[in-house]
Amino acid sequence: MITFNIAQWRAWAPGLTNVEDWQQWSQHPTPLQGSDEAPDVSFLPAMQRRRLGRLARMAFAVGWPLAEGHARLPLVFVSRHGETPRTFEILCDVAADEPLSPTQFSLSVHNAVIGLWSILRGETSEMTALAAAGDGLEHGVFEAAALLAEGAPAVLVIVTEEQPPQAYCDWIDDVPFPYAVGLLLTPGTDWQLSLKPGSETSPRAQWPHALNLLRILNTAQRACEHPWKNRLWNWQRSP
């Protein structure tokens, strides 16, 4: 079991851009209509901004305000699928025997977001990019808790997923809509996260774990279980 505080959080999805939007969605969660909307990242230099795909823009949109005021802030970036639209474009170019863009490739790799974060913020703290399974949120929080235990005063966790191209829909079925969730974790005992063996036959949670956590943060609910394959994660917050 690990303990920690969630000092602040931010989240973004098409049409859900502020706390009030997420509070309403948490009360009545529903899938969102397909949209090409991307978050406002006008705080970034225009040249860098143009290079970013929506996944990176979402990560910056939720993470940047949480990082303000922190001279050094370790980052744990979590995405199960990563830049699927950009990767699909590269594969289409390969199939068409077209020349590949070095920029497209460099921005498609899984740790590209933390590399850009380090450059644009001048951040040299420890940063980790995780490609976990459906319980990537919990793996990211465990990684952050280890950094807190080593003395970090705060750790930023960003979980984000992009809507996959239609060609991937037979294999990727856990992204109901594009979203990003940012958590600023600090030492404390407000939250407890524990793991126990689960069952492969346990029904999967209706929403991705990061979105389920948002529902807890925006309601009076104080505990929930997140099953994933043979793992059962238990979240509890103090009264």
Q: Residues 177-188: pLDDT tens digits?
A: 999 999 999 999
Q: What is the pLDDT of residue 128?
A: 96
Residue with tokens 């774990």, as numbered in its chain: 209
What distances in angstroms separate CA 131 from CA 2, 47, 56, 80, 84, one per listed residue? 21, 28, 15, 5, 13
Helix 209-217 and helix 19-27, axial crossing angle in degrees, nearest 10: 100
Summarize pLDDT for 48-74 with one digit per residue, the tens. 888 899 999 999 999 999 999 998 999
CATH code, domain carrying 78: 3.40.47.10
d(CA 137, CA 119): 25
Q: What is the pLDDT of residue 103?
A: 81
What distances in angstroms separate CA 26 from CA 23, 63, 132, 158, 211, one per listed residue? 5, 21, 25, 19, 9
Domain ranges, residue 110: 2-237
Mean pLDDT of 212-222: 90
Bridge partners (DSSP) listed for residue 2? 193
DSSP for residue 88: H
Q: Which of 93, 17, 85 is nearest to 53 (CA)?
A: 85
Q: What is the pLDDT of residue 101?
A: 83
Amino acid letter at 9?
W
**Is 90:107 a contact under the CB 8 Å cutoff?**
no
Q: What is the pLDDT of residue 140?
A: 97
> CB-based burial of residue 27 (10 Å sphere; 0-12 exposed, 13-18 middle, 19+ buried)?
exposed
Summarize pLDDT for 74-124 with one digit per residue, the tens. 999 999 998 888 888 888 888 988 888 888 888 888 889 999 999 999 999
Give the total number of structural domains in the chain: 1
Q: What is the pLDDT of residue 130?
A: 96
pLDDT band for position 217 (50/70/90)?
A: very high
Q: What is the pLDDT of residue 3?
A: 96
Summarize pLDDT for 91-101 with one digit per residue, the tens. 888 898 888 88
| pTM, 2 dp | 0.93
Q: Which of 208, 225, 223 is nearest to 78 (CA)?
A: 208
d(CA 159, CA 194): 19
Q: What is the pLDDT of the chain when averaged over all its residues?
A: 91
d(CA 155, CA 73): 6
d(CA 215, CA 206): 12
First-to-last alpha carbon distance for the chain, in angstroms, is 18
Q: What is the pLDDT of residue 47?
A: 83
**Is 97:174 a contact under the CB 8 Å cutoff?**
no
d(CA 150, CA 153): 9
Summarize pLDDT for 145-197 with one digit per residue, the tens. 999 999 999 999 999 999 998 888 888 888 999 999 999 999 999 999 999 99
